[in-house]
Amino acid sequence: MRQPESDGNLAISSDPADAAKRRRRRRRGGRGRSGATAVHDAPQPVAVREPLLFPLPATPGLFCDNPAIERAIAEAGWQQPTPIQERTLPVLRRGGDLVGQAQTGSGKTGAFGIPIMEKLDPELHVVQALVVVPTRELAEQVTTELNRLAKYTGLKALAVYGGVGYERQLQGFNRGDQIVVGTPGRIIDHLERGALSFSDVRMVVLDEADRMLDMGFQPDVERILRRTPRERQTALFSATIPVEIHDLIYKHLRDPEWVRIEMEIPTVDTVRQVYYEVAERDKFDGLLELLEMNDWPSVLIFRHTQRGVDRIEGLLRRKRYSVAAIHGGMTQAMRQASLNLFASGKVRILIATNVASRGLDIPDVSHVVNYDMPEDLDTYVHRVGRTARMGKQGTAVTFVGEGDLDMFDQLQRRLKDQLLPERLALYG
């Protein structure tokens, strides 16, 4: 349900009877922008905007039965559950364990967040739910989203990750925040210091489990699980389910329901996908050419390695471009500063590695540049998914170097030749 719009009439009488009439009118759907009945020829007094009405869910009970959560969902403007939510909510709400195969951007935070909120006791100020995530950025993003959903419930989520001081996290534990969203290393750190207890945890979510295993967190994740009560409910989300994840599921989940949501492959309708054949040694010149010839509003450039990111960051800076970078070798404060610069539009170009890109939530990227070829379709889809979000148009540019031809062929086959060839001027 959309937030009811202001009717554009800023000069509103303070008569309560008029206010009641206005409210009734808005509930019926308002009178529209043309406002045939709104005749305001005379100069109006100082504009006072009536507070927006409390938005009600489109269909009560669609996401959950708790009015406090429904209110937050309505405020977020969610009208329909996403496919992962549609299939996950009933399983988690009835208490079952779950394996969800879905990407970031599918709405999975809501898929586990809503049942968590429904089950926890706001009066009880101990950790009751735990969400384990691979990166600091994802911890921040999930915490923000959960707190948005929790706004009227009396529950609170706390982000817990390394690379920052302990003080704020300890304050959160002392305050009795009920949901901990954290990276494995720092969670273990707190457990070992005795600052954190999971004896009252009822629900555990392992988010982006494949990434966590890629990053070598399996032993840590298992240690954390062993510190939670056996009768807890467990949900695991992962974009891919390699063998190691099967082991984890087999050992730690009870007869889980499997929900798989197909990857949404970008289509020509939303993302213009082009490629340039360019020799490895010419890639930087190619990038400069594209940046100079076009007025791209916001560009996200992907590289494989941290060194690669640092290198073109330095080169672009020397060419007087204002750029920001984000990769796993930077401190949390540095990454956040880069993200803020980019998200606020202060810099137009952000250079990132894949790992850092997971969990990036930047609403407005006009162009994605695959400076280095993504190593698989999943990564391509994930990177390209940073543009053309929320129904906007976007462009994805892929550089195909001499060593990328096999991967590129695979990509084109899977994408049904959607990537169209273009030619750099530097090749005449």
Nearer to ligand AMP, 266 or 401 (CB): 266
How far apart are CB 307 and ligand AMP at their closest, in Å?
Answer: 29
Task: Tell me: does residue 115 bind ligand AMP (CB under 6 A).
Answer: no
The answer to whether 100 contacts ligand AMP (rule: CB under 6 A) is: no
> Which region, judged by CB under 6 A, interacts with ligand AMP, from 79-87, 281-289, 293-301, 376-384?
79-87
Which one among 75, 78, 300, 383 touches ligand AMP, defined by CB under 6 A?
A: 78
81 binds ligand AMP (CB under 6 A): yes
Task: Using the rule CB under 6 A, give the single segment among 93-101, 106-114, 179-187, 380-388 that binds ligand AMP.
Answer: 106-114
Query: What's the min distance (Å) between Cβ of 110 and ligand AMP?
Result: 4
* Residue 410 CA, distance from chain mean position: 28
Minimum CB separation of residue 76 from ligand AMP in Å reads 6
C-alpha distances (whole Å) from 163 to each of 3, 237, 310, 328, 335 are: 39, 25, 20, 11, 11
112 lines the binding site for ligand AMP (CB under 6 A): no
Question: Residue 377: which residues within 8 A CB-CB, separation 6 or more?
Answer: 263, 410, 411, 414, 415
Stretch 334-373 residues interacting with ligand AMP (CB under 6 A): none
* 266 sits near ligand AMP (criterion: CB under 6 A): no
The binder of ligand AMP chosen from 83, 96, 105, 329 (CB under 6 A): 105
- Number of C-beta neighbours around residue 227 at 10 A: 15
Q: Which member of 22, 57, 75, 85 binds ligand AMP (CB under 6 A)?
A: 85
**Shorter beta-carbon distance to ligand AMP: residue 85 or 143:** 85
Q: Which range in 53-61, 98-106, 274-282, 310-318 contacts ligand AMP by CB under 6 A? A: 98-106
Which are the contacts of 94, defined by CB distance < 8 A and separation ≥ 6? none
82 lies in the binding site for ligand AMP (CB under 6 A) = yes
Give the number of C-alpha atoms closer than 13 A to the C-alpha of residue 121, restricted to the C-beta side: 8
What are the C-alpha distances in Å from 242 to residues 80, 216, 282, 289?
31, 14, 36, 40
229: its two tokens: 């009560």
From candidates 110, 184, 266, 374, binder to ligand AMP by CB under 6 A: 110
Contact assessment for residue 362 and residue 339, using Cβ atoms and an 8 Å cutoff: yes
Name which of residues 139 to 198 contact ligand AMP (CB under 6 A).
Answer: 145
Least distance to ligand AMP, CB of residue 399, Å? 28
Q: How many CA atoms lie within 13 A of 85 on its CB side?
A: 20
Task: List b or e across 92-107, with b for residues whose CB sees 16 or more CB atoms inside 10 angstroms.
Answer: beeebbbbbbbbbebb
What gap in Å lies between CA 136 and CA 129, rounded to an integer? 18
Strands, E assignment, 79-197? 98-101, 129-132, 157-160, 179-182
Size of the site for ligand AMP (CB under 6 A): 14
Which token pair is 364? 């407005």
Does position 104 interact with ligand AMP (CB under 6 A)? The reply is yes
Q: Which is nearer to ligand AMP, 131 or 350 (CB)?
A: 131
Residues lying near ligand AMP in the complex (CB under 6 A): 76, 78, 80-82, 85, 104-110, 145
